[in-house]
Chains A and B, each alone.
Chain A
């Protein structure tokens, strides 16, 4: 059966006066129907640009190379992308206050999705929108339809964003840092909501985050990105128990844990990721890697492994 989203050797670069900056370098991935994939990485790792490219939402000065297919159809031009964007292939963003249009009611912003893609009349669309708000557990859904984004709390706004993404019964929802701008308690609620929605709707979910903890409870599989490339790709359980890439191991060490000493200092990763635009013929993580050797500084490691798990490292941690 076709993968829901299939990306082959994707390169995304931005041209500016100084030259070209590679945001995403040679990334390939597959998301199967109903699969939940977590994409983890620091800011600048290219995780957001990857999916913006897939949806065709990049800025004008972006150059994209590679193949992107959705449900078996290659997305070659804007017509192909327009057919799926917002209906079968949707995305929700990080900060729900700035991501919702301030001068339109919630009802309008929800209904317009149905009117645009399903050609529903406005009145029916608003009713459907109200029902969807119930399904994402927004209290008093009818009242919310007439309200403006600034009248809702952060958690409610994020539910609205999710509702907007679910209205046309998508095959794949991309959630870009859905909890980052929210309080910790609300974060838990949203993650729980995502779990429930996945169970109810059965769509595939791409969950982008810099925080492994967010991804932990939901993902079937996790991709770790560093400096525009995938460095590890493994089933979630395996990744947490036995990470193979040194970067993944360091990330895991940074997670606060409920067991262990009460006042231990939280470990941090030394150094900075490479600046975008720095091109190296070497492993990008080498400067910060505790296991780095000469080979790492002169030869870039390729992704190697089986279809179930891959890692890009010359000296991966033992399985």
Chain B
């Protein structure tokens, strides 16, 4: 099992490398530079700036320098946030985004899966239709509409939850952003689980389990749930991607100081190193998730495991 994991890990590293390289060269090759939008600077000052940031070096030199600094965990200075390096910004923002995203993913799984199982068990009843209708709403309506609407309802009108002013670690501040972020993947997971569970419940081995006189709860939890979760496992990486995308919006609206907000600002300000650093972080996260899902498949279905 360990060998399988390391093989996959070894395969992922070249991918990451390619992403970094491509990203780097594309950015440097693009027209315009990070200082173009400032008021026209006198040429000497421009030259000095270029020199200070190493932008007047040949491309390969810049690339080498970047890779070296990457290995040291240094993503370079931010061109816009003058007092910060990208590394510092990442260090500030990443834990926030990670916390937000992880809680949202957990919510999506721990609410979505039971909801799907419930709908499957009450197939064709009113409860089933109701659950699936809510799911459609969750999938269709975008996060940047859901969060403000929730904020209006719970914050402005009902005064239950705060709308702005982020406070680290405060559940009340986290509640709405997490719910808005979790809603689309939750809905999708509920749907997937329901469909998959309905199919599994028709299997022969479930019939055997009932024939053995096992109660419904045991049959569902011990026999039906694990195979039913395979599509959910397949969906995990897109789920994380969806949460990452959603976090850009959620952080911007709720004023949460995570890397999503920096990324958006970086795009608008054409802050090369910042965007580069963020893209690398996000890509690494996705690739890591992909690896984890591969391991998960092996656990869910023993037939996939490499033979002993």
Contacts and interface: CB of A to CB of B under 8 A. Distances in A.
Q: Do chains A and B touch in the complex (CB under 8 A)?
A: yes
Interface of A: 55, 57, 82, 84-87, 90-91, 93, 95, 98-104, 112-113, 116-117, 148, 150, 161, 164
Contacts of A116: 212-215, 218
B213 A93 contact: no
B223 A117 contact: no
A148 B211 CA distance: 20
A95 B205 CA distance: 10
Interface of B: 203-205, 207-215, 218, 222-223, 226-227, 300-303
Contacts of A85: 210-213
Contacts of B212: 85-86, 90, 112-113, 116, 164
Contacts of B213: 82, 84-87, 113, 116-117
A99 B302 contact: no
B205 A100 contact: yes
Nearest to B207: A57
B301 A99 contact: no
Contact of B223 (A86, A95, A101, A148): A101
Nearest 3 interchain pairs by C-beta: A86-B213, A86-B212, A98-B204
A57 B227 contact: no
6 contacts: A86-B213, A99-B205, A101-B208, A104-B223, A112-B218, A150-B303
A117 B205 CA distance: 19
Nearest to B203: A98
Nearest to A167: B212
Given A100-B205, A102-B205, A148-B302, A86 B226 contact: no
Contacts of B300: 103
Given A102-B227, A116-B218, A57 B205 contact: no
B209 A150 contact: no
Residue from the set B204, B210, B300 with the largest chain A CB neighbour count within 10 Å: B204
A101 B210 contact: no
B222 to A, nearest CB: 7
Contacts of B203: 98
Contact of A99 (B204, B214, B226, B303): B204
A161 B203 CA distance: 16
Nearest to B213: A86
A196 B302 CA distance: 34
Contact of A104 (B210, B215, B222): B222
Residue from the set B223, B301, B302, B303 with the largest chain A CB neighbour count within 10 Å: B302
Contacts of B215: 82, 116
A91 to B, nearest CB: 5
A85 B214 CA distance: 9
Given A55-B211, A116-B214, A148-B302, 10 more contacts: A57-B210, A85-B211, A85-B213, A86-B214, A98-B205, A100-B205, A102-B303, A112-B214, A116-B218, A164-B208
Nearest to B205: A101
A86 B205 contact: no
B123 to A, nearest CB: 8
A148 B303 contact: yes
B125 to A, nearest CB: 11
B305 to A, nearest CB: 9
A102 B205 CA distance: 8
